[in-house]
Amino acid sequence: MPSFDIVSKIDGQTLDNAINNAKKEILNRYDFNDSKSTVDLDKKTNEITIVTENDMRLKAITDSIISRMMKQGLDAKALDFGKEHYAAGNMIRKEITVKEGIDKEAAKKIVKAIKDSGLKVQASIMDDQVRVQGKKLDDLQAVISLCRGGDFGQPLQYINMRS
């Protein structure tokens, strides 16, 4: 029976390249001259840590990260922006987590959207992905176009198409 999986993954190397390009852009900007701003990516926990002096620089850094991710082909919906915390002195610290896998609420929304579409397929939640099975490949392709049109709060990829 034909099937495919709906997942939400970010390529670690591409994300690392985007962060490094954003760091270079920030170092070369005039408004960041004499700045103590740092941007770090923890590859184990998929967390980006930004430390800077004020809100204006924090906004510029996050905009730079988002634009570099877009240029690398990554979706900015994968970023979960936390709150700003005041670090030592007058520094502001912000931690941005990169979402990996589909959370339960988004998976339920995806399954509900597939079932409400009336297509003859079965969708099931398996850990952090959704598996869709059907008798016809055309139905599976219709599910993919349905999911691309919907907004589920995170980027989706479609892998393991088997016929």
- Phi first, then psi: give them for residue 60, nearest 5 degrees: -65, -40
Phi, psi of 92 (to 5 degrees): -110, 135
CA 97 → CA 22, 77, 116, 136, distances in Å? 16, 11, 32, 38
For residue 157, what are the contacts with CB-CB under 8 A and spacing of at least 6? 6, 7, 8, 9
Within 8 A by CB and 6+ apart from 152, the residues are 102, 106, 109, 110
pLDDT average, residue stretch 11-34? 92
Which residue has tokens 């990260």? Answer: 65
Mean pLDDT of 126-136: 92
Percent with pLDDT over 70 in the chain: 100
Predicted confidence (pLDDT) per residue in 87-108, tens digit: 777 899 999 999 889 989 999 9
What does pTM read for this prediction?
0.83
Amino acid at 91: M
Residue 39 confidence (pLDDT): 93
